[in-house]
Structure 1
Amino acid sequence: MRISELLSDGKIQVVAGFTNQSATAALGPNGHDIEVGLDRAILNTEVPAFSVWSGVIAQFVLAVTFVAVILCLILLSRRILRGQIFGRTSTRLVITAGMVGLLGTPMVHFLNNMLANGAIAQVSSPSEVDSSAISIDFFPFVIAAFAVAIICTVFMVGERLQRETEGLV
């Protein structure tokens, strides 16, 4: 649905992140305007073709990432249900799911930022708006990378222990 919205003629809705921006909102007594900090807004505007294609590619990357991770985890679950917990295939499935997730998610954010920057460029002059070039919160990715590294290590050690145990029998 998002791809069809992006490829349609006319205005599209784009979520844009901002830094050091203020706006007025009717939140005061009797609806009086007060100044608020603006960190995110939905812009309804026409967007340059390059930015539109960034948004389209972001949707494809999101779908491929989602499908690849889910497929790897389903195949891993099937192996575990069959009692084949550790092995070269299980380790590869875990590593693939982790790496695809860790690389695909920031790529989607980056491409959506390109879309947002195109929308901001359409509605303002460069001197008026200070938008983030890349508005990605890296801390969740650091935690996710740590978790993926631990899980991959567990499967690699388990695979090695299983090979050593089978060699003893």
Structure 2
Amino acid sequence: MSSSATAGTLSQADRIGVVVLVGVGLVLAAITVVGAVIRLIETLGGGRIEVLAEFAGTPAEAPIGVDGAPVTVALDTAILSVSDLPLASVISLVIQQVILVAAVLIVAAMLGLLVLGILRGIVFSARHTVYVGTASIAAFFGIVLYPFFGNMAANGAFAALSDGTFENVILTVQPLTFIVAAFVAALATTVFSVGARLQRETEGLV
């Protein structure tokens, strides 16, 4: 006779660990959402818009020589402040933040439901597999699409500042996406680690 779920009694340490991990994740999610809202307000508020731009070792002058003398360095990243950012770039920035918020909220919701099940002593089940899979997919698309639209916005900033004479097409993954992915991976690892122990305990009683 088979069962679709593995149940058991969580120890106090397990419960504390799961709750702390979820608490940290919720704080990160809240910070991310607030930051995205602020970014949207800045983007749609008019005036100059700051855009993160990636460079491929582009030469630039930095005042780091003797008495502040300029020295040529290889520029990797910079913040471009543009007052006439093309509409396509503005839309890209908006989409970028919407994707970020959506991915974070989906991940937080799925993992929240997962934790509720864990606290009831159920770790391995078809429903929990769906939760973990949905969270992973949301995180994956966030990782892929967030830098993609950021790159589109940066290309528009380059075009606006150089009148289309400077091309610098580079695609990188932003650190914030790694935070989301790390949270998903860490919680999933914790869930299945606890689940494996509960399963061993259950099998030992059979």
* TM-score, normalised with respect to structure 2: 0.65
Number of residues of Structure 1 aligned to a counterpart in Structure 2: 152
Amino acid at match of 2:142: G
Q: Deviations over 1:31-71 (max 9, x none)?
A: 10000000111011121001100100111110000000011
- TM-aligned CA deviation for residue 136 of structure 1: 3.6
Query: In structure 2, what is the Cα distance between the partners aligned to 1:18 and 1:95?
Result: 35
Q: How does 1:54-69 map to 2 (within 5 A)?
A: 54-69=92-107
Partner residue, 2:68: 31
**Does the CA contact (< 8 Å) of 2:54 and 2:170 recur in 1?**
no
Q: Is 1:108 aligned to residue 146 of structure 2?
A: yes
C-alpha RMSD over aligned residues: 2.8
Distance 1:130 1:21, change over 3 A: farther
The one-letter code sitting in structure 1 at the alignment partner of 2:67 is: N
Q: TM-score, normalised by structure 1?
A: 0.78
User: 2:158–2:167: 8 Å Cα contact kept in structure 1?
Assistant: no
Look up the match of 1:51: 89
Q: Which residue of 2 aligns with 1:41?
A: 78
Change (3 A) 1:107 1:2: same
Determine the structure 1 residue equivalent to 2:55. Answer: 18
SS at match of 1:37: strand
By how many angstroms is 1:83 displaced?
A: 1.1
For structure 1, the residue ranges without an aligned partner over 5 or more in a row are none
Distance 1:57 1:92 in 2: 26
CA offset digits 1:74-122 (Å, max 9, x no partner): 1101101101111110000011111110111221111111111111111
Alignment of 1:72-111 (within 5 A): 72-111=110-149
Residue identity over aligned pairs, in percent, reads 39
Residue 9 (structure 1) shift: 1.9
Separation (CA, whole Å) in 1 of partners of 2:120 and 2:103: 26
Runs of 4+ in structure 1 displaced over 6 angstroms? none
Bigger drift between 116-125 and 87-96 goes to 116-125
Contact 1:65 1:105 in 2 (8 A): no
2:168 is the counterpart of 1:120: no
